[in-house]
Amino acid sequence: MSQSYYPPPYPPPQQYYSPQQPQYYPPQTAGSYSYNQPPTYEQKHGQEENYNHGREENYADYQVHNTVAEKWNKKPRFQDLWAIILFMIHLIGFAVLSYTGINELINKKNQPSNTNPNNSDNININISSNIITLLVIVGIFGFVLSLLYMLLMQRFPKPLIKVTLYLSIAFYFVAAAAYAYFRQYIAAILLAIFGIFYLFCAFTWRDRIPFAAIMLETVTTLTKKYYGTIIMGLVGLVIQVGWTILWIITLIGAKDKFYESSGCGETQNVKGRSSFSCSQPTLYLIVLYLVFSYYWTSQVIKTIIHVTDSGVFATFYFLEGTPSGTGSTPTLSSLKRACTTSIGSVCYGSLIIAILSTTRFILRSIARSDDDACGFIAACLECLLSWIEQLVEYFNHYAYVQVAIYGKSYCDAAKDTWRLIKERGVDAIINDNLVGNVLVMGAVFIGALCALFGFGYIRLFLSNDIVDNNAILILVLICFFFGLVMTGVITNVIDSGVTTTFVALSESPDALKRTKPQLFERIRREWPRVVQGI
């Protein structure tokens, strides 16, 4: 399957992808398609004719495209090697700190405790087997609801898009009314303005709903067919949870190890506000390194899943219905590419997000510890940086699709993504917004059902064990979070599929026209610009 994206030594797939990558550079002419022209993939000239030789009569620059493609995609190769090397070095540093911190915790556990068990400052956390059972049942319940919601998206995509769009608009006005009731008039006015603006956008976007519905229906159908993408989401969730637990243990152990040697303690500023400070920078640097490590590794885990899912959906787009086919294990093949030839690009893009997130962490720390002008400036910079981080994450989401399909380096993928955004940026934002409403509202709804289910379970089966209302509230909130997380396993796959299909359709509509003419015709009726390409 790896030949589906990065052309292997033998010709057929290499000829297939040869026009794809250069399509960013020379713009296609508006007359590159004729609707009366029959699909050329039915001409039996071998596999390479199934994809491209029919285009020699339609594209005057085919040979130029082919030459550039051979230069760029001669064979699969590793991209951005320096990034994966740097990532591995960083993991070695984390492993050293983790070993040191865990040893410190083990040594402290073996030492006799001098704490008074009757001291009210000691917090005893006892998680019973009943609570663990509750969380497991809620997790399964949320996952089943997510699968049912995916079927609902497949059967009724257009009504769901409309309903969730109007619910999103209603949320702004309800929130504005709530703030006005509590006399928070500035927030109420801002939310009302956003609601009016969103209402105007919904009115102008109504013609885009059918296209978004086709995308949502197609991707949910493929998610059912290639269920390995859902399994990858679950595996990624388990790895992320395990990484978070290891990181927390390492952070606690490292703090205990270097707390005294760094001269750390609680101090108070001139206004009596307590803060944490150290006379030596050792612990500061270690905590900062661990925070950076958490952000970078978490982004790499998340991106590997996204690149894997994108590879699977691109396999369907380009190879389903052709002699080459998608292979028996498209998910494993895509995962192999994501973890080998594309891992450097994954680490590169994740590094940018990790640097931004770590910088925001520093600014937040400064803003919380200072009440003067320095804290105010830090808070403003942190707010600005959060917007920049969101834009970079959105940009990377599309750039990684380029990495998944063509095996490009991160810089090349970023350049081509920027050209895609300039050509199709508004269409992408509208499509993401319409589909995103369905995914977000579904996640919130399933989270609420999980919270309600958890509350009922506690009242029916754990009423004797849990009597404190605060404890019940915390468990209900945890159940809500579990519902969101389990829904995210499904919605992240769908989001990757919608993005991948949009990118492939924008760059190479002819591939869909030849392999799936009926689907292409449906999309063409709803989005005529598809025939132009980029």
Q: Does some domain include residue 29?
A: no
Is 80 exceeded by the pLDDT of residue 280?
Answer: no
Q: Residue 396 class from Cβ within 10 Å (0-12 exposed, 13-18 middle, 19+ buried)?
A: buried
Of the given ranges (256-260, 381-385, 411-415, 436-440), which has the lowest mean pLDDT? Answer: 256-260
Is 80 exceeded by the pLDDT of residue 404?
Answer: yes
> What distance in Å separates the CA atoms of residue 289 and residue 285, rounded to the nearest whole number?
6
Q: Which domain holds residue 404?
A: 2-11+79-105+130-531
Q: Does some domain include residue 17?
A: no
**CB-CB contact of 438 with 164 (8 Å):** yes
Quick one: average pLDDT of 341-357?
Answer: 95
What is the value of pTM for the model shown? 0.78
Is 50 exceeded by the pLDDT of residue 337?
Answer: yes
Q: Does some domain include residue 259?
A: yes
**CB-CB contact of 327 with 3 (8 Å):** no
- Which of the four pLDDT bands, split at 50, 70 and 90, describes residue 205? confident
Residue 37, by phi and psi: left (phi above 0), alpha (psi -120 to 50) or beta? beta
Q: For position 348, what pLDDT does the model report?
A: 96
Q: Does some domain include residue 268?
A: yes
Angle at 188 between CA 184 and CA 192, to 5 degrees: 175
Q: pLDDT (tens digit, 9 = 90+) per residue, 122-150?
A: 333 345 678 888 888 998 999 999 999 99
- 295: which DSSP letter? H
Quick one: average pLDDT of 215-232?
Answer: 91
**CB-CB contact of 287 with 16 (8 Å):** no
Q: Which of 317, 408, 312 is nearest to 7 (CA)?
A: 408
Q: For position 320, what pLDDT does the model report?
A: 78
Mean pLDDT of the chain: 79
Is 80 exceeded by the pLDDT of residue 265?
Answer: no
Considering its fold, how many domains does the chain have in total? 1
Q: Does some domain include residue 35?
A: no
Q: pLDDT (tens digit, 9 = 90+) per residue, 148-170?
A: 999 999 899 999 999 998 998 99
Q: Does some domain include residue 53?
A: no
Q: For position 342, what pLDDT does the model report?
A: 92
Is 50 exceeded by the pLDDT of residue 28?
Answer: no
> Is the pLDDT higher at 333 or at 371?
333
Q: For position 424, what pLDDT does the model report?
A: 80
Q: pLDDT (tens digit, 9 = 90+) per residue, 32-63?
A: 333 333 333 333 333 333 333 333 333 333 33
Q: Does some domain include residue 396?
A: yes
Q: Does some domain include residue 89?
A: yes
